[in-house]
Amino acid sequence: MSTRLDEILIQNGLSEAEVRGRMARGRVNRARLPTSRTLWQIVSTHVFTRFNALLGALWVIVMLVGSWKDALFGWILVVNAAIGIAQELRSKRTLDRLALQSAARPRVVRDGRVIEIAREDIVQDDVLELVAGDPVFVDCVVLQSSGLELDESLLSGESEAVARQSGEVLRSGSLVIGGNCRCRATAVGEAAWIYHLEQQARRFSLAHSELRAGINRILQVVGWTLIPTAALLFVTQFALGLHADAALLYGAAGVIAMVPQGLVLLTSLALAVGAVRLSRRRALVQDLAATEALARIDVICLDKTGTLTERELHVERIEMLIVEGTARVALAALAAAEPHPNATLQAIAREWPAQPDGPTVLQSVTFSSARKWSGAVIDQLGTWVLGAPDVLLAQRPPGDTVLVRADALASEGFRVLLLARAGADLVAEMRPVDVDPVALILLSEQIRDDARATLQELERQGIGIRLISGDHPATVSGVARRLNIAGAEQAVDAAKLDDAELAELARTRTVFARTTPQQKELIISTLRSAGHAVAMVGDGVNDIPALKRADVGVAMGAGVPASRAVAQLVLLDNRFANMPAIMAEGRRVLGNIERVAVLFLTKSVYAMLLALAVGVAGVAFPFLPRHISLVDALTIGIPAFLLSLEPNGQRLQPGFVNRVLRFAIPAGLFVAAAVFAAFALMGAQWGAALPEARTAATLVLFITALWVLVLAATPLRPLRALLVTGMIVLFVLTLLVPELRTFFALQTLPVLAWVECTAIAAASMVALHWSRAVAVNLPQGRARNRRWTRTELLQWLVGADSPKVFLIISALLVVGGAWLFFGTLEDVVSNDPLVFLDGRVFQLLQGLRNTTADHVMVAVTELGDATVLLPLILAALAWFIVRGLWLTAAYWLGAVGVAQLLAEVIKLVMHRPRPLPLYAGVEQFSFPSGHAVMSTVVYGLLAWLLLRRAAPKWQRIGGGGVIALIAAIAFSRVYLGAHWFSDVLGGLSFGVAWIALVALTYSYHCRERLHERGLAALLLGVFAVAAITHIAMAHHRDMYRYSAADVSHPRSKEAQTGRDANSP
């Protein structure tokens, strides 16, 4: 009964009423996957980024506590996201339009008629008619078939054709490669296998981007340092007596400059401009980072058909093996007998079309890629077969003359078919017997006119070529020879190799034949693992795994929709000849971005160092956000964008971030030093107000940043010189036009102040020029540092080579220092006996004071001032950076910055007044002693770094001298009445515990060589100059500040308890 129902269903299909009923119940194929990413996916990708999170949070803070004039940087958020979204939306519209134009339309039987419908209109139980070349749209069961064979490689990974009979299940995602059938849909929509397959296959993956990864790494570092830096700036500014809103604003100004916002925007703009230029060459960029990836490509893998050759085959000639007058008639009949001819039979049909009065085909076996032959029993002509010579003549010995001739012709690049008579009826599952060769049919794929020149241009650019095809090795080798591809004579037959053998050959060979989709992917993976940047050009379903695996997937516009969906670049006009120009565009964009990236990262470096200097020195931040926006626009933003549009044909090499940092970090250090020197000079020498000091800092920042621009733009050709001149003119106009000067909060300065600022800037320019020369030949001082793994850490702690004495001493110092610090803190909080001792010590030392001792103690205490410590901090940092000791530099910055931050925060929390009212702001608070903390950290950590590998004699001399210096500075603070005894004790214990902890982690983590002798000489020289200069300039003022107090009427309550009665 069921057989009868199936026969009726085969003939009539569903009625319209049955179709409507199933649609009403939702049993319809409406789970069509998008051909590109959804609008929400595109928007969320470009909005929810680390960059937007960092800058967005800062923008909110500035808008809440400051002026909109200081929030001008916020537009970068909008423009940056808009560029990426607009580019992807443009790609989405183009892809969707292409998919609509090229989407296959299934044929179904309804009401006894075969009609074409949209894929999503298939309903459950629909009867589909499938022929060779059709995809299986939904899961179904075969009702009737004839020679049905499927390619199920996307389902099982097996490349062999699979025969299916009536009653068997067909899974969606298969491809009919032979025969035909009618089948009934059993699973549609999300229930179909194709839904899960395409959900994975069409998943768009962004191109690997070293630039994007590098920027994200930089943003990650900035993000980690931003919070403690912002906290340090806020505490410092708040300690100066500023309102909390103003302190937040200036803190935000410092960390805003740390974010390389312009680099992110410029990258998006340059990539977007590159995408527009590529679109003029009919190349659609789906992912902006693909433009960068193109600049790194050094190997390009090509499918043969449709890329290097035309899709249409042509019959070159027929080579008769025997005299047979009916051969051409038989060929015409064989081609006409195929209901759905492939490209080969279509070429034969064009050459020998069937005649109206031609012979009748009595029986036929359709062509199958698995069988590699087709045949027919022709009325009055007998049985004829057409197929691959090596298949039809498989029983003949290897030296057979027909096989030898066929191989020779195939090696010339021809696709060779054998026309032969067969001695019996044909059975699809069996190879024909008694085969009598009649003729060899020679077909060729027409090589594109521009293919050879295109490959030559790619090779000229240093790009390796890999030809990967599924055709016969001889055919592929012949095409490769005609295209002058290196290694054409050594075509690899992938069908004879396992994965390990193919992977080994993939490293050295260039031409591959009989490859499956999985083998194409393996070749790509092997090349990438060997360090190559690989592009894959393909257009078929079998190319999808390789397209996804490559650094850049390039799909042809005429390819299948799924291949276009996963590719990062689509050649809309199917012209591979555009690839050299497309890759040159990628190199132009990325080469220029690397050239100007030093501008942005230099800014990030000097902003971070300025924030640290401000925190250590305890002074106001030298800029408002609008000052930074002005200098950014004139020395970075506008010039960098214009420079990014210049030609640049150099292939991008790995290590982009390291190359840029080798120049940017030293340059940022010198810029920060010049700015801070000008800012401090205006306050110390001229007694200038804060606005005037900020104006001087802005002037020096502009000059030094402009010189960084000049170095980045070298050689300074006329257009570049004009650009630099234009930026100078714009800055001068800003200073001269009252409205602009007021808007940017700039003040007029004395003439001599202008001269001094210019001199400082000139000195910095000399240092910048030197640092650029050093960056080119920067020694690679980095060793392989240890990773934080449990195994390595345990080995270091308890292994045979463990530094056990150092570990014990360091642990005792950490624990002992922390115990003493927190014990002192508890005594101060609870007014324990130590506090009463403070008052006694204070009165005793004040009673012993005399002029000579005061001069000595003031000079000693000045050795712990920020004016002496800061040059040492910067000099050590400069040494680490110039030597390429990045991890040591990071530890040094962290040790100093965290110590200063914690000391300031504890002062604010404790609110303990000093014995004498010597300072204002947070510096009026006493616990712990900042001089004791920072002297211990700076001098102590430097001494440990310099002496840890020295001879014991020098360790005793150097260590003793540093301990004596720290102790003298600590004693001077108590002697001069700047601190209570417990303040100094707490500061020393805190500093000892902190540097012991830093030394522990550094000893395990870092293996860099510091070149201690050179560093020691540099630091001693800087210390001598800074100390002598500072004492000479500040000693008279400090003698007045620390003049002896009248303790005959002390603040008795304060002296006894160390607390201000009015403190909270």
| Residue numbers annotated as active site | 303
Burial classification of residue 297, based on how many CB atoms lie within 10 Å of its CB (0-12 exposed, 13-18 middle, 19 or more buried):
buried
Q: Identify whether the C-beta of residue 507 lies closer than 8 Å to the C-beta of residue 526.
A: yes
DSSP state for residue 925 in the 8-state scheme: B
Q: Identify whether the C-beta of residue 109 lies closer than 8 Å to the C-beta of residue 129.
A: yes
DSSP state for residue 333 in the 8-state scheme: H
Alpha helices (H) along 103-209: 153-156, 193-201
Q: Alpha carbon 571 to chain centroid distance?
A: 24
* CA neighbor of 811 nearest in space, from 988, 948, 1000, 944: 1000
Structure tokens at 1063: 């403190």
* CA neighbor of 751 nearest in space, from 743, 759, 741: 759
Phi then psi dihedrals of residue 139, to 5 deg: -65, 135
CA distance 287 to 42: 10
Q: Identify whether the C-beta of residue 618 lies closer than 8 Å to the C-beta of residue 908.
A: no
* CA neighbor of 291 nearest in space, from 215, 201, 202, 210: 210
* CA neighbor of 834 nearest in space, from 969, 973, 984: 984
Geometric angle at alpha carbon 575, from 569 and 581, rounded to 5°: 70
First to last CA, the chain: 97
CA distance 426 to 327: 18
Prior bond of 928 cis (ω within 30°): yes
Q: Identify whether the C-beta of residue 442 lies closer than 8 Å to the C-beta of residue 316.
A: yes
Q: Identify whether the C-beta of residue 442 lies closer than 8 Å to the C-beta of residue 418.
A: no
Task: Identify residue 806 by its one-letter amino acid code.
Answer: F
Burial classification of residue 846, based on how many CB atoms lie within 10 Å of its CB (0-12 exposed, 13-18 middle, 19 or more buried):
buried
| Phi-psi label, residue 382: left if phi above 0, alpha if psi -120 to 50, beta otherwise | left
Task: Identify residue 714 by its one-letter amino acid code.
Answer: T
Map 631-642 to HEC letters. Answer: HHHHHHHHHHHH
**Which residues, in sequence order, are bridge partners of residue 283?**
571
Phi then psi dihedrals of residue 163, to 5 deg: -85, 140
CA distance 707 to 661: 17
CA distance 20 to 26: 10
CA distance 495 to 975: 89
Q: Identify whether the C-beta of residue 88 lies closer than 8 Å to the C-beta of residue 286.
A: yes
Neighbouring C-beta atoms of residue 236, cutoff 10 Å: 28
* CA neighbor of 932 nearest in space, from 869, 1015, 1021, 867: 869
Q: Identify whether the C-beta of residue 393 lies closer than 8 Å to the C-beta of residue 400.
A: yes
Q: Which residues contact 515 (CB under 8 A, 6 or more apart)?
A: 468, 469, 470, 494, 523
β-strands 169-170, 309-320 pairing: unpaired
CA-based diameter of the chain, in Å? 138
Write the CA distances from 133 to 149, 152, 353, 624, integer angstroms: 11, 13, 22, 68
Write the CA distances from 932 to 709, 801, 854, 1026, 1047, integer angstroms: 41, 35, 19, 19, 24
Task: Identify residue 578 by its one-letter amino acid code.
Answer: N
